[in-house]
Structure 1
Amino acid sequence: MMPKLNPNGARAARDHAQGRFATLTFERDVAAPLSVLWQAWTTPAARAVWSAPTPSVIVEFLEADTGVGGREVSLCKVEGQPDIRCECGWLELQPAVRSVNYEVVSSRGVTQSAALVTADFSGADERSRLVVTVQLSALAENMEAGYRQGFDAGLGNLAGVAERTMVLQRVIQAPRTIVWDTWMNPETLPQWWGPDGFSCRTKKIDLRTGGEWVFDMIAPDGTVFPNHHLYIEVRPEERIGYTLLWGENGPKHADAWVSFEDQDGATKVTLGMVLSTAAEFQEAKRFGAVELGLQTLGKLERFIKAR
């Protein structure tokens, strides 16, 4: 989480001698299932959508390894100001229950603050709750105020993102290597992608970081739906992050990800997407996006079994 701060006022040596410590607590009720909120909180593709505290801030992710012992490194960019570097290390991850991470913020190579961030999750049905506790040690001036502003804004963004996020999961009875290879093979992906009865017509396909897939999805009645996937991140056998566009170079429809996890010889596949607006989310639900997405994962499993 990127605090809102002014890097120009740091007087690190004096402040280290004085010491600035604070415990901050933030609470949010979210109109989304607990499993969805957890994905929005931990998944790099979703975090990139909500982490900037204000629209004037651009957050660039340099590293993102969401796992115990993994770390996330990002740069907070504001025009006319030095970049702020934030390093987050994951110490504990109990899915849909709790996460703990450290966070170190620096500017121009000088540490501004260090913090321990604990997030506790609870909820039932379509509503969930998040309580975040930040134990802050600040070396620069005004960091407590910056953290309050940054976390308050970021968690507000998070709630909005979670409320327009879809998460689909399926355990596929095949090893992760096979599932990954079937997904990331330019010959096999178009053969199974899409709901029951749909087919794909590929125009371009380059399945790598920085690559793209331009294709039409063709419904059983012949209706053509132009699609364009831009691949932001490809971590072999772990996850894919991509942007969905309405047709080639069209307007953005969603930020999406797929993760692959071993599960007793099978593979748990999680397909998530943050729709660009609340209206698009509601329209997708009315259109049956959840059911159609689950059909797509079902086609993947049947394709693998048939090979």
Structure 2
Amino acid sequence: MKSRQNPENAPAVDHPAADGFATLTFERDLPVPRSVLWHVWTAPAARAVWSAPTPSVAVKFLEADTRVGGREVSLCKVEGQPDIRCECGWLELQPTVRSVNYELISCDGVTKSAALVTAGFSGTDERSRLVVTVQLSSLAGNMEPGYRQGFNAGLDNLAATSRRTMVLQRVIQASRSVVWNAWMNADTLPQWWGPDGFSCRTKRIDLRKDGEWVFDMIAPDGTVFPNHHLYTDVRAGERIAYTLLWGENGPKHADAWASFEEQDGATKVVLGMVFSTEAEFQEAKGFGAVELGLQTLGKLERFVTSR
């Protein structure tokens, strides 16, 4: 039964294991829109933020392809212990409704468990509900306690991450290649980036994985806002991920991503940001970050459709 005192941390509902098989169910009710929760659950950049169950575990992503038939491969690293390899393969993705994936856990070349993970999403523009069912087969030892602990910790992290995530979307009436080339081009990106009336002054720009963009955003009144983007992932034509810093080599402001999806000849652009703290997220919302971000995507559309 869900705890009324702490509904976001509902306990797992366990069914007894038989011959190494078990079914575990996890539930969370969250004060975030269902669309935001979906992107935090599926976007590789967001998953990298919340996937480590505890601070002592470092998760290194080797591969991440969130589409049906794609897979995600990561290593869980704990000092003094062998790496745990997790392979997740996406079998079904119904945006904001349902996802299904298999999961294989191995260590030192030995497969420890196999599982089928089904996540169901429901809710409104204000609140959302997530129900995750894990059909587990322990292949080497009893993996059930570890799964229970790991999923509860991971979903607690997911809940905290979703409360500081902003997701903006726009369908742009241009092909994906045109939109991508306008974004990932050192000459054109500074021409449209930023809200209405803002301009960019670039110091360095290298739009590749492990590259950076050091620049100032200049407001209509002349106020200068130093920025530094560090590019952590670039998948040509599909997505980018980057870290936002407050000025050159300054403190981290957010982990961000942009994805590009073909949609009937147009391009659906999703821009997501996981702020470093919930307080920063609330402050950004307060000064109009949603509206300013949507203005930026509007400038992108005007740029590509006017050429």
Instruction: Please give the TM-score of this superposition, normalised by the length of structure 1.
Output: 0.93
1:155 pairs with 2:126: no
- Aligned-pair Cα RMSD in Å: 0.8
Partner of 1:41: 41
* TM-superposition CA deviations, 1:90-118 (whole Å, max 9, x none): 00000000000000000000001000000
| Residue pair 2:20, 2:142 contacting (<8 A) in 1 also | no
| Residue pair 2:209, 2:232 contacting (<8 A) in 1 also | yes
Partner of 2:6: none
Q: In the TM superposition, what is the alpha-carbon distance from 1:292 to its structure 2 partner?
A: 0.1
| Residue pair 1:87, 1:105 contacting (<8 A) in 2 also | yes
Partner of 2:32: 32
Partner of 1:5: none
List structure 1 segments (4+ residues) > 4 angstroms apart after TM superposition: none
* Percentage identity across paired residues of the two chains: 81
1:177 pairs with 2:177: yes
| Residue pair 1:102, 1:115 contacting (<8 A) in 2 also | yes
Q: In the TM superposition, what is the alpha-carbon distance from 1:125 to its structure 2 partner?
A: 2.1
1:137 pairs with 2:137: yes
Q: In the TM superposition, what is the alpha-carbon distance from 1:206 to its structure 2 partner?
A: 0.3
* Structure 2 counterpart of 1:34, one-letter code: R
Partner of 1:200: 200
* Structure 2 counterpart of 1:200, one-letter code: C
How far, CA to CA, are the matches of 2:146 and 2:157 in structure 1? 16
* Structure 1 counterpart of 2:59, one-letter code: V
Partner of 1:286: 286
How far, CA to CA, are the matches of 2:158 and 2:140 in structure 1? 27
* Structure 1 counterpart of 2:301, one-letter code: E
Partner of 1:107: 107
Pairing 1:9-24 to 2, within 5 Å after superposition: 19-24=19-24
* Structure 1 counterpart of 2:51, one-letter code: S
How far, CA to CA, are the matches of 1:228 and 1:258 in structure 2? 16
* Structure 1 counterpart of 2:22, one-letter code: A
| Residue pair 2:258, 2:271 contacting (<8 A) in 1 also | yes
| Residue pair 2:71, 2:87 contacting (<8 A) in 1 also | yes
Pairing 1:198-277 to 2, within 5 Å after superposition: 198-277=198-277
| Residue pair 1:201, 1:216 contacting (<8 A) in 2 also | yes
Partner of 2:10: none
* Structure 1 counterpart of 2:26, one-letter code: F
How far, CA to CA, are the matches of 2:145 and 2:67 in structure 1? 30
How far, CA to CA, are the matches of 2:63 and 2:305 in structure 1? 35
2:92 match: secondary structure? strand
* Structure with the larger RCO, 1 or 2 (CA within 8 Å, 6+ apart): 1
How far, CA to CA, are the matches of 1:30 and 1:159 in structure 2? 7
* TM-superposition CA deviations, 1:97-145 (whole Å, max 9, x none): 0000000000000001000000000001210000000000012324100
* TM-superposition CA deviations, 1:182-229 (whole Å, max 9, x none): 000000000000000000000000001110000000011111111000
| Residue pair 1:19, 1:139 contacting (<8 A) in 2 also | no
* Structure 1 counterpart of 2:224, one-letter code: V
1:140 match: secondary structure? coil
* TM-superposition CA deviations, 1:254-276 (whole Å, max 9, x none): 01000000011000000001001
Q: In the TM superposition, what is the alpha-carbon distance from 1:305 to its structure 2 partner?
A: 1.6
2:271 match: secondary structure? strand
- Give 5+ residue unaligned stretches, structure 2: 1-17
1:53 match: secondary structure? coil
How far, CA to CA, are the matches of 1:142 and 1:129 in structure 2? 29
How far, CA to CA, are the matches of 1:272 and 1:163 in structure 2? 13
Partner of 2:57: 57
Partner of 2:14: none
2:268 match: secondary structure? strand
